């Protein structure tokens, strides 16, 4: 086991992995890493199991001490990260020597980063997932965000090197995660129609009240064609709800399982990692899409992950062949 001492928990850092599926009828949110693309790439870079748990951090990351060292990968948001003064690059495997302290600072672009650790974090699976349900207080690390004084463990192994090593193969996350491109959400039609003419002609801005439960937007106030009351109905991650103020909410991983607001659309699943990276004040545009278009986007993202996995494996084999 590899010990990880938390010297500073950051703004909001929690153990996250895959979602809890098949439990919505019990009122249990899916949860899990908001940016699942970055989470999966981090595990691919380290050769971890596909569902290995890592640390998701928001806006500013934690400071962690590794008494025995570790192999790590930082993905997701662009961050200022150092290890004993050495700059830690993102989107590649990095070896930290014994006694090293990793300091993950502010996110320069994007809202959430993922820290993968070789072997994955050693936390029990609760209801099928190692993810932390922060709203209900279970799973992950004691059902809460990590904080100063905590001591986590990862399955290892410890790195073979005795010095900082950031020479692993680099992965380009584009186009699946491209901070230079405007944020776009491809929107499938919902069960409720809008009365607002041409509702998507202007972009929306992300509100400061957004969180893991939902991305709250500000912009042109929308109105449902049927303003009457509704029975609560099932909702999913990506569902776009319209509350009485007319400002849409895109539900994220920690969202409730039923809702009574009008459902005006559903964001294509392939867009959710990019939405997880939006910060307060960022712009988001909606583009209508049909089911075939949404599936094409999902297929492209699966192909990206498959190509990354093949490239990482090829680089690993070449490194083994060139080892003296």
How many domains is the chain partitioned into structurally? 2
Check whether residue 149 and residue 194 sit in a common domain.
no
CA distance 257 to 237: 9
* DSSP assignment letter at 277: T
Check whether residue 117 and residue 255 sit in a common domain.
no
Residue from 254, 236, 240 nearest 286 by CA: 240
The percent of the chain in helix, strand and coil, each rounded to the nearest 5, is 15, 35, 50
How far is CA 182 from each of CA 37, 241, 268, 274, rounded to the nearest angstrom?
18, 22, 16, 10
In a domain? residue 304: no
CATH number, domain with residue 263: 2.40.100.10
Lowest-pLDDT range of 200-214, 224-238, 295-309: 224-238
Check whether residue 128 and residue 45 sit in a common domain.
yes
* DSSP assignment letter at 67: T
Is pLDDT above 70 for 324? Answer: no
Query: What is the model's pTM?
Result: 0.94
- Domain ranges, residue 130: 2-171
pLDDT interval class at 100 (50, 70, 90):
very high
In a domain? residue 316: no
- Contacts of residue 246, defined as CB under 8 A and 6 or more positions apart, other chains included, come to 221, 222, 223
Check whether residue 133 and residue 39 sit in a common domain.
yes
In a domain? residue 104: yes
CB atoms within 10 A of CB 152: 20
pLDDT interval class at 254 (50, 70, 90):
very high
- Per-residue pLDDT tens over the stretch 135-190: 999 999 999 999 999 999 999 888 877 789 887 788 999 999 999 999 999 999 99
* pLDDT given at position 156: 84
User: How confident is the prediction for the chain on average, in pLDDT?
Assistant: 94
* pLDDT given at position 161: 76
Check whether residue 239 and residue 156 sit in a common domain.
no
* pLDDT given at position 43: 97
Among 117, 148, 171, give the residue marking a domain's end. 171
Check whether residue 96 and residue 190 sit in a common domain.
no
- Phi, psi at residue 182, to the nearest 5°? -65, 140
Among 171, 192, 222, give the residue marking a domain's end. 171
- Token reading at 89: 């690059």
Check whether residue 192 and residue 154 sit in a common domain.
no
Check whether residue 59 and residue 207 sit in a common domain.
no
């Amino acid at each position: 086991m590899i010990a990880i001492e938390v010297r500073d928990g950051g703004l909001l850092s929690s153990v996250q992995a895959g979602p809890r599926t098949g439990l919505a009828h019990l009122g249990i949110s899916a949860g899990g890493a908001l940016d699942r693309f970055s989470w999966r790439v981090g595990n691919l870079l380290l050769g971890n199991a596909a569902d290995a748990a890592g640390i998701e951090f928001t806006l500013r990351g934690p400071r962690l001490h590794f008494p025995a060292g570790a192999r790590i990968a930082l993905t997701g948001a662009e961050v200022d990260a150092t290890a004993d003064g050495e700059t830690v690059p993102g989107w590649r495997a990095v070896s930290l020597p014994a006694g090293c302290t990793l300091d993950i600072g502010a996110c320069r672009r994007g809202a959430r980063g993922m820290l993968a650790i070789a072997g994955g974090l050693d936390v029990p699976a609760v209801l099928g997932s190692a993810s932390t349900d922060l709203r209900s207080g279970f799973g992950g690390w004691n059902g809460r965000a990590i904080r100063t004084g905590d001591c986590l463990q990862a399955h290892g192994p410890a790195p073979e090197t005795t010095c900082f090593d950031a020479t692993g193969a680099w992965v380009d996350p584009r186009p699946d995660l491209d901070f230079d491109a405007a944020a776009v959400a491809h929107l499938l039609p919902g069960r409720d129609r809008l009365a607002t003419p041409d509702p998507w002609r202007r972009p929306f801005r992300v509100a400061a009240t957004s969180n893991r439960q939902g991305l709250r937007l500000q912009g042109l106030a929308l109105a449902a064609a049927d303003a009457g009351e509704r029975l609560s109905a099932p909702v999913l991650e990506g569902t776009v709800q319209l509350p009485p103020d007319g400002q849409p909410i895109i539900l994220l991983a920690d969202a409730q399982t039923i809702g009574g607001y009008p459902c005006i659309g559903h964001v294509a699943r392939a867009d959710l990692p990019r939405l997880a990276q939006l910060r307060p004040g960022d712009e988001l545009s909606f583009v209508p899409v049909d089911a075939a278009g949404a599936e094409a986007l999902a297929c492209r993202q699966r192909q990206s992950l498959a190509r990354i996995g093949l490239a990482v494996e090829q680089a690993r084999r070449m490194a083994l062949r060139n080892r003296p």
